[in-house]
């Protein structure tokens, strides 16, 4: 990057302290953009733990597993619930049995909606309202998560300053690389990781080459 003279304006990352410290130490002028997919993933992890805790309480009090079997329904996007399998009905019935779980679930959907706001000001209002509601709830998980969101407020809202910047493209490339390293290669010349990656990625990369570009390098360095 230094050789090219490129200037990094923003970096998308999760809210891990190590990532934040690395960016601030090496690119102090760059804006941190906290990846929305990682934020929802973190909330889902907290939601799953809450369900486990509530399940234990329910089993001790009622002697039956009233919340078992709904984990994936809680984590699913509501638009993807399968009515043919009665997923929406099963989820609704479970939520009616437990108010804290229902509160956390609906707060997750409100949190997701922040990134669907038309502009930064609308998102800011939605985010601040979410933090207030979570902090005022009777669910400790939500209270704690509201502090996390409030502490990372500027990085969350920076999403709207950089055209929806996220780690999505990088995650996709990393997943392809992981897949490539597992593919067996017949030729001994492909024994190096670099060669394996190129032979795997070249067909994928060629699909995205513009029509006027007909040449790909023989073997770039991925590592």
Judged against a pLDDT cut of 80, whether residue 5 lies above it is answered with no
Cβ(10)–Cβ(31) below 8 Å: yes
Higher local confidence (pLDDT), 17 or 193: 17
Give the residue among 68, 61, 150 at the shortest CA–CA distance from 101. 68
Q: What string of DSSP letters covers the chain? A: -TTTT----EEEE-S-HHHHHHHHHH-TTSEEEE-HHHHHHHHHHHHHHHHHHHHHHHHHHHSS-TTTT-HHHHHS-GGG--GGGTHHHHHHHHHHH-HHHHHHHHHHHHHHHGGGSSSHHHHHHHHHHHHHHHHHSS-HHHHHHHHHHHHTHHHHHGGGTTTT--SHHHHHHHHHHHHHHHS--SSGGG-SHHHHHHHHHHHHHHHTS-TT-----S-----
User: What pLDDT band is residue 210 in, cutting at 50, 70 and 90?
Assistant: very low
Q: What string of DSSP letters covers 71-132? A: HHHHHS-GGG--GGGTHHHHHHHHHHH-HHHHHHHHHHHHHHHGGGSSSHHHHHHHHHHHHH
Residue 67 neighbours by CB distance under 10 Å: 21
170 Cα distance to chain centroid: 12
The pLDDT value recorded for residue 166 is: 85
Q: What end-to-end distance do the CA atoms of the chain give, in Å? A: 16
Least confident interval from 39-48, 82-91, 128-137, 158-167: 82-91
The pLDDT value recorded for residue 219 is: 43
The pLDDT value recorded for residue 67 is: 55
Backbone φ/ψ region at 163: left (φ over 0), alpha (ψ -120 to 50), beta: left
Whether the model clears a pTM of 0.75, i.e. scores above it, the answer is no
179 Cα distance to chain centroid: 20
Distances 120 to 29, 73, 125, 155 between C-alpha atoms, Å: 21, 30, 9, 12
The pLDDT value recorded for residue 211 is: 43
């Amino acid at each position: 990057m230094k050789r090219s003279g490129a200037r990094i304006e923003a970096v998308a990352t999760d809210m891990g302290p190590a990532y934040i410290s690395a960016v601030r130490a090496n690119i102090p002028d760059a804006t941190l953009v906290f990846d929305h997919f990682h934020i929802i993933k973190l909330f889902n992890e907290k939601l799953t733990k809450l369900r486990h805790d509530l399940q234990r309480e329910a089993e001790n009090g009622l002697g039956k597993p009233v919340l078992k079997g709904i984990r994936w329904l809680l984590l699913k996007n509501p638009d993807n619930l399968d009515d043919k399998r009665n997923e929406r009905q099963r989820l609704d019935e479970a939520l009616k049995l437990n108010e804290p779980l229902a509160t956390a679930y609906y707060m997750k959907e409100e949190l997701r909606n922040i990134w669907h706001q038309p502009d930064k000001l609308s998102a800011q209002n939605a985010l601040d309202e979410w933090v207030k509601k979570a902090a005022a709830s009777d669910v400790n998980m939500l209270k704690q998560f509201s502090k996390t969101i409030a502490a990372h407020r500027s990085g969350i809202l920076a999403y709207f300053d950089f055209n929806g910047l996220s780690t999505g493209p990088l995650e996709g490339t990393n997943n392809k690389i992981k897949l490539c390293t597992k593919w067996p290669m017949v030729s001994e010349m492909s024994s190096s990781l670099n060669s394996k990656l190129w032979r795997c990625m070249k067909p994928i990369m060629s699909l995205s080459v513009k029509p006027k570009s007909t040449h790909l390098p023989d073997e770039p360095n991925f590592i």
